[in-house]
Amino acid sequence: MIQLSDITKYYKSGSINTYVLRRINLDIKEGEHICIMGPSGAGKSTLLNIIGMLDDASEGGYSFLDNDVHSMKEKQRSQLYKDYIGFVFQSYHLIDELTVYENLETPLLYKKIKSSQRKSMVCDTLDRFQIVGKKDLFPSQLSGGQQQLVGIARAIIAEPKLILADEPTGNLHSEEGKKIMEMFTRLNEEGVTIIQATHSERNASYSKRIIYLKDGWQVDSL
């Protein structure tokens, strides 16, 4: 599904290049559950963003579902990640002015899904995550764990093939974190590819493959 070859990312300031990722090679198949681990500043988020097409690599090639991402125009790219990729963030990033229901509805609106179908998709998702009773509450009225659940729900509501999660349990305590991880496992069993970036050893234990990053390099272990 995903092929990264010699992906390198640096930032220029004057004549000095600050390298964030160096020559990353990765081959990820559909249905995998992968964890990217490494200390702070290792480049985990950057790698995730590149995979998610939110950022560009400075060098190297990226093929997603046999599409050469680098040569694609902005419009095609955003179409691609809109259709196939869902993002989960560390700080949930829900729209504060919308209720849970409306937050879940928003990605469907951007995909121009019809009203009646939208309704059924949102209700199914609420059901699945067992947050039906909270559908009319605003994010500020939910606990951290509940907000992250909604964030994940929003990421998967459009039925993406791939979920990218950046420190999904970073702001949660261990009970809530466990619930999130169990949800990921369930989704993976249903066939969704999951790539996680995390510090947590415990989170990593839920995944089937671990990739280690240190100072931008891919290493075999930490």
Partner 1 sequence: MFKNYLKVTLRNNVRQKGYSLINLAGLAIGMACCIMIMLWVQYEFSFDRFNENIDNLYFVPTHQQYGDQKEIGSGSPPALGPALKEDFPEIVNSARLTVATVWLKYGDKHFQEGIMPVDPSFLVMMSLPAVAGDTRTALSEPYSIVLTREMAEKYFGTEDPMGKTLIVDNKYNLTVTAVLENVPSNSSIRFNILVPMSFDGVLFFENYIQTWFNCSFYTLAQLHEDADYHDVSDKIAGRIKQALPESNLEPFLYPLKNLHLYSISGKGGHIENVRFFILIALVILLIACFNFMNLATARFSKRAKEVGLRKVIGAKKSEIIIQFLSESILFSLTALVLALVLVEIMLPVFNGLAGTSLTMNYYSDPTLVLSLLGIALVTGIVAGSYPALFLSSFMPVRVLKGTLVEGKKGSWFRKILVVSQFVLSIILIIGTLVVYQQYGYMKDKNLGFDREHLVYMPMMGSFGDNFESVKSELLQNPNILNVTRATHKPTGVYWNGSGWNWEGKDAGTNPLVTFMGVGLDYLETFKIKLLQGEFYTRQLSGSAQYSVVINKTFADLMGSGSPVGKQLYHEENSYTVIGVVDDFNFKPLYQQVEPLAMEFRPQFFQWFTFARISPEDMSGTIGYMENMWKKFNPDYPFDYHFLDDDYDVLYHSEKQLGNILRDFAILAVFVSCLGLFGLASYMAEQRTKEIGIRKVLGATVAAIVQLLSREFVIMVVVANVIAWPLAYYVINRWLEEFAYRMDISWMDFMVAGAGALVITLLTVSYQALKAALTNPVKSLRHE
Residues that bind partner 1 (CB under 8 A): 45, 49, 54-55, 75, 78, 82, 87, 89, 91, 93-98, 102, 105-107, 109-111, 154, 158
Q: What is the dihedral of CA 180, 92, 215, 161, to 10 degrees?
A: 60
52/206 with CB nearer partner 1:
52
First CA to last CA across the chain, in angstroms?
Answer: 27
Q: Which two tokens stand for residue 69?
A: 């991402």
Q: Closest approach of Cβ 76 to partner 1, in Å?
A: 12
Count CB atoms within 10 A of the CB of residue 178: 16
**For residue 88, which of 175, 200, 196 has the smallest C-alpha distance?**
196
CB 177 within 8 A of CB 206: no
Q: Which two tokens stand for residue 168?
A: 């999904």
Q: Closest approach of Cβ 91 to partner 1, in Å?
A: 8
94/149 with CB nearer partner 1:
94
- Which residue in the block uniquely carries the two structure tokens 């600050």? 18
154, exposed or middle or buried, with CB in 10 Å at 0-12, 13-18, 19+? buried
Q: Computed from CA positions of residues 121, 122, 127, 128, in that sequence, does the dihedral angle turn out positive or negative? A: positive
Q: Closest approach of Cβ 78 to partner 1, in Å?
A: 6
Q: Closest approach of Cβ 87 to partner 1, in Å?
A: 5
Q: Closest approach of Cβ 98 to partner 1, in Å?
A: 6
7/206 with CB nearer partner 1:
7
Q: How far apart are alpha carbons 138 and 177 in whole angstroms?
A: 21
Count CB atoms within 10 A of the CB of residue 1: 16
107/177 with CB nearer partner 1:
107
115/221 with CB nearer partner 1:
115
Q: How far apart are alpha carbons 76 and 55 in whole angstroms?
A: 14
Q: Closest approach of Cβ 122 to partner 1, in Å?
A: 13
95/219 with CB nearer partner 1:
95
